[in-house]
Amino acid sequence: MEKNKINLLIVDDEAQFLHSIGRSLEMRDFKVLTAARGDEALELARIEEVDIALVDLKMPGMDGQQTLEALKKEHPWMEIVILTGHGTIDSAAACTRSGAYAYLQKPCEFDQLLQVLADAYKRKVMNKEEIDEQRMNELLEISLSPSPREILTRLREMDKQAEKV
């Protein structure tokens, strides 16, 4: 991980847009990863560190909402911003229900995008702290159990949960 850089995954099927926005954000100190499809984004997020994702809505294969849901499921603390040229109130509501941090329309002011991404990152940091704290509390509680067998069983359960995160 590079210090002081936000690891941003951009997912969009328009190659030119992906390239230009990626470069602009790299110049603003984001560490940018790009994917042209939802499934590609999922694979990348499994092997690279991703703090936040900026996801197009209309893409062949998995659409933006499906990509958002799959990313959230595997990385609960990750924050995801939807950026679409085809925004509707219905899809904005659906994406919000699925856990999108924000829903922006193309074309979007670059400064506004920067602000939203910075806010999403702050939220991600808080999510991570909350999840870590929760885990610490669980560990503490488990360690107080009088039965060694129960301690083992519960630690194994936690391990399984941690794999999902």
Chain residues that interact with Mg ion, rule: CB under 5 A: 13, 56, 58
Q: What is the largest CA-CA distance in the chain?
A: 61
Closest CA to 101 of 29, 51, 33: 51
Residue 64 or residue 124: which is nearer to Mg ion going by CB?
A: 64
Residue 53 or residue 121: which is nearer to Mg ion going by CB?
A: 53
E strands, 3-162, are 6-11, 30-35, 52-56, 79-84, 102-105
Residue 81 or residue 124: which is nearer to Mg ion going by CB?
A: 81
CB of 123 to Mg ion, least distance (A): 25
CB of 59 to Mg ion, least distance (A): 5
Is the peptide bond preceding residue 76 cis, with omega within 30 degrees of 0? Answer: no
Residue 60 or residue 148: which is nearer to Mg ion going by CB?
A: 60
CB of 26 to Mg ion, least distance (A): 21
β-bridge mates for residue 95, sequence order:
none
CB of 38 to Mg ion, least distance (A): 11
The whole-angstrom separation of Cα 118 and Cα 54 is: 12
Specify the 3-state DSSP secondary structure of 61: coil
Rounded to 10°, the helix 110-143/148-164 angle is: 170
Residue 57 or residue 116: which is nearer to Mg ion going by CB?
A: 57
CB of 84 to Mg ion, least distance (A): 8
